[in-house]
A = this chain, B = another copy of it.
Amino acid sequence: MAKTIAIIGTGVIGAGWAARGLAHGHDVVAWDPAPGAEDRLRAAIDNAWGALERQGLAEGARRDRLVMLGSVEAAVAAADFIQENAPEREELKQDLLARIDAAAKPEALIASSTSGLLPSRLQARMQRPERFVVGHPFNPVYLLPLVEVLGGEKTAAASVAAAMDFYRSIGMRPLHVRTEIEGFVADRLMEALWREALWLVNDGVATTEEIDAAVVYGCGLRWSLMGTFLTFHLAGGEGGMRHMLHQFGPALKLPWTKLTAPELTEDLIGRVADGCEHQAAGRSIKALERRRDDFLIELLALVQKYWPEAEGLQGRI
């Protein structure tokens, strides 16, 4: 059933939400104070639409079901679900969310796309903070399935559940972040890698192109299938993660990064290894390896098809 989604702030992330909403057959009402925002928003949706058509549009999905209005209040007045995508400044978001809250229907859900600010602080000036959640997506929002969902101290559990249901209904995979922690889960991982990558450039060790090639042809290919833990589970051979942690764990203490590492206690080893065994669900390492290999062959062909210039490595030598 078509809903009305309000998109507050229409940069890269807001435009991505708008495209996803339209592709799923909803009405989208948007607001952004920047000059030229509407043209940029419509151009971004046009650029995404071909991919969305190939993926399959919902019945009734049309780009002209987007309207841009002149005030936050007007944009949210009729909305069932409101997604805020303002710059990452806590005060600015607090003010905006208070205005959204005051103008929205009482039963509307209000979500923020913040990458890492705490929902308890963002909801501080709202009159109905119980209906507020963080719903943190990943660029391109209209294709990537992950959305991290978390509530603040005053958020009702029902609001978290309802937001997750809504995100599922528009083709996403919500991850409930149960601990209110800055940066949530995915951005902490990304930031860790990102900081190290910046150090490598900063110290003149490698160029951005070399670092990207190292990710594309080395670690990244595996992560897109099975993440970091299950990838290392397979690095341990038949002994899996537990063997891997005991064999390579000491390297965590080597000065390989500018970072500090947690103590590899038996408790932590247990939790990590048990988690991997749960994920493997009784499949043998060999069976997992065969499946990974079949995937990698197809993925490598895809990378070659779409990114032939990433011959970069050859060119740099």
A interface list, Cβ under 8 A from B: 11-12, 40, 43, 47-48, 50-51, 54-55, 87-88, 115-116, 138-140, 143-146, 148, 164, 173-179, 181-183, 185-230, 232, 234-238, 247-248, 250-252, 254-262, 264, 268, 271-272, 275-276, 278-279, 281, 286, 289-300, 302-303, 305-307, 309-310, 312-314, 316-317
Contacts and interface: CB of A to CB of B under 8 A. Distances in A.
Majority secondary structure of chain A interface residues (helix, strand, loop or mixed): helix
A143 B47 contact: no
14 contacts: A40-B238, A54-B297, A88-B251, A140-B296, A143-B293, A144-B217, A144-B222, A164-B317, A179-B203, A185-B211, A186-B214, A191-B257, A220-B223, A225-B306
Contacts of A237: 11-12
A229 B211 contact: yes
B219 A275 contact: no
B185 A205 contact: yes
A88 to B, nearest CB: 6
A161 to B, nearest CB: 8
Closest 8 CB pairs of A and B: A212-B227, A183-B256, A208-B275, A220-B223, A146-B218, A51-B293, A192-B196, A215-B227
B196 A290 contact: no
Nearest to A149: B317
B307 A257 contact: no
A144 B221 contact: yes
Contacts of A173: 213, 217, 313-314
